[in-house]
Amino acid sequence: MAVAHDVLVVGGGGAGLRAAIAVAEADPRLSVAIVSKVYPMRSHTVSAEGGAAAVAGGDDSLDEHAYDTVSGSDWLCDQDAVEAFVGEAPRELLRLEHQGCPWSRTPDGHIAVRAFGGMRKKRTWFAADKTGFHMLHTLFQTTLSYQDIVRYDEWFVTSLLVDNGRVGGVVAIELATGRIETIIAKAVIMCTGGCGRVYPFTTNANIKTGDGMALAYRAGAPLKDMEFPQYHPTGLPFTGILITEAARAEGGWLLNKDGYRYLQDYDLGRPEPGPVLRSMELGPRDRLSQAFVHEVAKGRTTDTPYGPIVHLDLRHLGADVIDAKLPFVRELCARYEHIDPVRELIPVRPVIHYMMGGIHTDLDGAAGLDGLYAAGEAACVNINGANRLGSNSLPELLVFGARAGRAAAAFAASAGDAESQAVHAQAKDERHRLEKWLSRQGEGPDRIADLRTEMQETMENGAGIYRDEGSLAKAANELQRLRERFSDAAIDDRSRVFNTELVATLELSFMLDVAESIVTCALRRAESRGAHQRTDFPARDDERFLAHSLAHREPDGTCRVAYLPVTITRWPPSERVYGR
């Protein structure tokens, strides 16, 4: 037996909820469902802090937002996608306000905007420093008004079903019971978020294991620009919890162990003279993270049990500003570091934050297989290129979640039945695979947690802020050995109810696929651009690499890389600047 829907959204975060709403609005006759491995309000969108970028009038313009995004991306974004994005972002944020999102306001009642890294104008809308929390609440409450949207909360998708190049649904496990179910769908939208957990230090929640990316990759859809994981320069050293860029937007300083604002010693991409001391903390995230590595090499950081750190200083802002605009930062510091940023320095270090790459899609989220769409961080449309500007990701999931939802609705309305013998045969094979994992004893000594830790260390050491051919080749070899050991690993938990060890096993298999695509693409890109910094190829090479990488999974499981030209509409490649 199987259940069936016209459109199935995999992932219950911001992109998934926005996509489901778009389907319901586009064609109320369609059956739409959301399957999520956590309750939607526990999706990672809830942890976004700083804000959402969109032109709010004044002296700002769509062209300026587009240019900042293009320049920040180191010219690797598709400019047609950027222009669509900046044009639709203000409407999406206003729509959220009408649905109840409590944007912070100025004393005269206008929407408040703050500065954010790499942007020349203040255009980041915010709700104190809990923007993602309020956005996700608003979207979730809105879905409740559509009674025909069905939710499968705490279900884990393990396989994407495809018959002759067309998606037919998924296989998923109900975590509460262990029941394995086939869910037939005419269209599937992947909105499963990023893959930060392939690295050891990350702001990402434990659920962000690249599931949707790997599902699409295994089904035949390519992954695009996977060599560009983004480090955020200010994460707490033990937990990886994010200290939002808003803390620097409000005037926070980054200090080395000597109390010196070290960013003034580095080229952050600002070629002309100006008030550098005022703006340098809002340089692009990749440049700030790279500066940290140089401070470590110079011996100007502080050693801790969790690696070297610098400090973020908010003390000069005062309690009133911090409590009004950064209350969550103060709460996080108290709970996880036992310090008060009103009076004490915050220890920080760069941590993996966001994946610029993802499932290759067009402007409407179509992912290369009939009926397959993707949006949010799981997708790569591509507006982020080699470096995402902070506060672009939240409006991105709204704009392209809506576009994917409308496109999937149109496809499902005109498509025939997705159910077929081949789809049911694949579902039967997947059921047997999952049952085998539960029953197997395993031949090797390895446990899933140990393999995961080794994978994360391999990625940090080989494909971190700086890479070279030697480190990447070593990482590729170690990942291959980990995959071989994984095939012999066993799990001890044989239960059906909330078997977290089985989930961790399936997640690790996804992460190994994603990690391999990151390393393979990084090995092929013999240049330095944005978040991809090759010490053996330190210059940007537009002649050879002004192109997107496309990682294809071969029948033998290996990764093949091809290239796709970048779409340039109005801004030819030039020197990268910020805050001009």
Residues serving a catalytic function are 232, 248
Contact 496, 178 (CB under 8 A): yes
What is the sign, positive or negative, of the torsion defined by CA atoms of 157, 142, 243, 69? Answer: positive
- Residue 338, classified by CB atoms within 10 Å of its CB into exposed (0-12), middle (13-18) or buried (19+), is exposed
Name the nearest CA neighbour of 185 among 19, 304, 339. Answer: 19
Contacts of residue 130, defined as CB under 8 A and 6 or more positions apart, other chains included, come to 49, 327, 328
Tokens for 516, please give them.
Answer: 């391999």
Tokens for 360, please give them.
Answer: 């290759």
Phi and psi dihedrals of 407, rounded to 5? -65, -40
Alpha-carbon distance values, 527 to 141, 149, 282, 428, 578 (Å):
46, 46, 25, 45, 21
Q: What's the CA gap between 415 and 187, in Å, rounded?
A: 9
CA atoms within 13 A on the CB side of 139: 31
Name the nearest CA neighbour of 132 among 236, 40, 33, 208. Answer: 40
Tell me the three state secondary structure of residue 489. Answer: coil
Tokens for 220, please give them.
Answer: 């035949």
Q: What's the CA gap between 270 and 261, in Å, rounded?
A: 17
Phi and psi dihedrals of 548, rounded to 5? -85, 140
Tokens for 389, please give them.
Answer: 């500007």
- Quote the DSSP letter at residue 567: P
Whether omega before 382 lies within 30 degrees of 0, making that bond cis, reads yes
Q: What's the CA gap between 416 and 212, in Å, rounded?
A: 24
Q: Output the furthest CA–CA distance in the chain (Å, rounded).
A: 68
Q: What's the CA gap between 291 and 293, in Å, rounded?
A: 5
Contact 183, 444 (CB under 8 A): no
Contacts of residue 248, defined as CB under 8 A and 6 or more positions apart, other chains included, come to 117, 234, 254, 281, 282, 312
* Bridge partners of residue 13, in order along the sequence: none
> What angle, rounded to 10 degrees, do the helices at 327-336 and 318-325 form?
100
